Amino acid sequence: MNRFKILSNGFLSGFTYCFIAITLQAVLTDLGYSISFLSSIALVILPYSFKFLWSGFADKIEKSSIEKLISFFILIISVNFFFLFLFNNFYNPFFYLMLLNLAFLGSCFDILTDANLIKNYSDEIRPKLLTFYIFGWRLAFIFAGGALLYLFNKLLQSDMQYLFILSGIMFFIFFLGFMKFKISKILSLVKINYQYFFILFPLFSLYFILKTSFTNLKDSFSTLHELKNLYSFSILYKLFDLTFTSLITIFIIQKFGIKLDAFGTINSITSLIAILSCGYIWSKLNEKYSNITILIASSLFKTLTLFLCIYIYHFKYYNFHILIILFLLNIFSTSLITYSFSNFIMTAVKGARSSFKYSILTSLPMLFLLCTVPLSSFLINHYNWAIFFIFIILLQFLSFLSLFSIRSKNKF
């Protein structure tokens, strides 16, 4: 039951993010909204990059209460989707605020599910459960980028209202199906911590962010000092993968001339293959090898993807079989890096303020991604893909340096 519950948490966590980052963007593009408007909607995802600012709230929650609060957040995210259904007008400021609030609630849900894995499970059990959590997240990626878009086009008559109501109902079903606590126990927890009820409203969410960020400001600075040896690793190891993966989709569509529907089909199938196998492979590796060995192997696997792209670009070798290999290599390597990186960070931040530590270390590469992706786009647009690949090789070199640096400091 624990495994299925963790998988469900991963799915719901991934769905909230993917709904905004993938589903909403694809639907609005299909409906003909302007690029400038789509850019403004893209900013809605920013709470995920800055969630470390308010992640300290999870450190104050007792271990036994974390799952109760997770259940409550599933409920209020469901209610938030219903609000979006009622005020379905993208030019209504209140609708935009509720969309931003959805990202905020989703980031809080991430913080709580991470805290649950860190606080309530030992180092021996956590890696196995982490595979189920990421498995659920990947399923959400496939659902949000595939099945939900199909439903929108074929069954929901391209009406955004139905998309919001369907998502709200889904969260409510999960709330009813996986709530092992009586509603009275959840409400008693919320009654003591009444602010959790009001974060359904955007203005109070802003108050909650400011209050949580500044209340523990002094402790936050001391905690940041404790993590100084992990900064270069947390930024550089994942930044290489995130930057490369963000641009490889454009490379595939441009160079292979693949249509969006074919891209979606291949991406869904290869992603499903990856999530069904990578979790098992990683758990077996974790039983036999050290963290440093798995991290290096995962990064080397990503190197194969990079070299294959360079080979394809240089020799203009565009065919279907190479395309499938490229898809599989990219998804497998990214999955292995995600498993390895998340497990190491969770192991490294045990103790006081673990939620804040985990959030800051996992948010850092996302913040730097705001710089590397525009720079990569500039290099491709003003020069060519070869210059971009040189930039990625530089990031990869820095990624390996961060690995060996952290090993020399006996962090593994």
CATH number of the domain enclosing 295: 1.20.1250
Residue of 8, 9, 41 lying closest to 25 (CA atoms): 41
Residue 410 burial (10 A CB sphere; 0-12, 13-18, 19+) = exposed
Residue 221 burial (10 A CB sphere; 0-12, 13-18, 19+) = exposed
Q: How many CB atoms lie within 10 A of CB 304?
A: 14
Residue 135 lies in a domain: yes
> Under a CB-based contact definition with an 8 Å cutoff, are residues 53 and 359 in contact?
no
The pLDDT assigned to 412 comes to 45
pTM for the complete prediction?
Answer: 0.74
In this structure, the answer to whether residues 47 and 90 fall within a common structural domain is yes
In this structure, the answer to whether residues 45 and 183 fall within a common structural domain is yes
In this structure, the answer to whether residues 369 and 246 fall within a common structural domain is yes
In this structure, the answer to whether residues 199 and 245 fall within a common structural domain is no
The CA-based angle 62-66-67, given to 5 degrees, is: 140
Residue 29 lies in a domain: yes
Residue 224 lies in a domain: no
Q: Pick from 187, 218, 249: which residue ends a domain? A: 218
Residue 269 lies in a domain: yes
Q: What are phi and psi of 32, to 5 degrees?
A: 90, 20
Q: Pick from 218, 243, 274: which residue ends a domain? A: 218
Amino acid identity for residue 219 in this structure: D
Parent domain of 376: 229-412
In this structure, the answer to whether residues 127 and 8 fall within a common structural domain is yes
In this structure, the answer to whether residues 194 and 240 fall within a common structural domain is no
In this structure, the answer to whether residues 271 and 162 fall within a common structural domain is no
What gap in Å lies between CA 39 and CA 239, rounded to an integer?
22
Residue 130 lies in a domain: yes
Residue 223 lies in a domain: no
What gap in Å lies between CA 215 and CA 56, rounded to an integer?
9
In this structure, the answer to whether residues 245 and 201 fall within a common structural domain is no
In this structure, the answer to whether residues 141 and 258 fall within a common structural domain is no
148's tokens: 């939900």
Which residue ranges in the chain fall short of pLDDT 70?
1, 29-30, 32-42, 145-146, 150, 152-159, 178-195, 215-226, 253, 258-265, 267, 275, 350-352, 407-412
Length of the chain: 412
Residue 102 lies in a domain: yes
The pLDDT assigned to 80 comes to 92
Q: Pick from 218, 243, 269: which residue ends a domain? A: 218
Amino acid identity for residue 376 in this structure: S
In this structure, the answer to whether residues 179 and 298 fall within a common structural domain is no
In this structure, the answer to whether residues 309 and 210 fall within a common structural domain is no
Q: How many folded domains does the chain comprise?
A: 2
In this structure, the answer to whether residues 214 and 238 fall within a common structural domain is no
Q: Measure Cα distances from 13 to 20, 41, 136, 185, 266 in Å.
A: 12, 19, 8, 23, 24
Residue 240 lies in a domain: yes
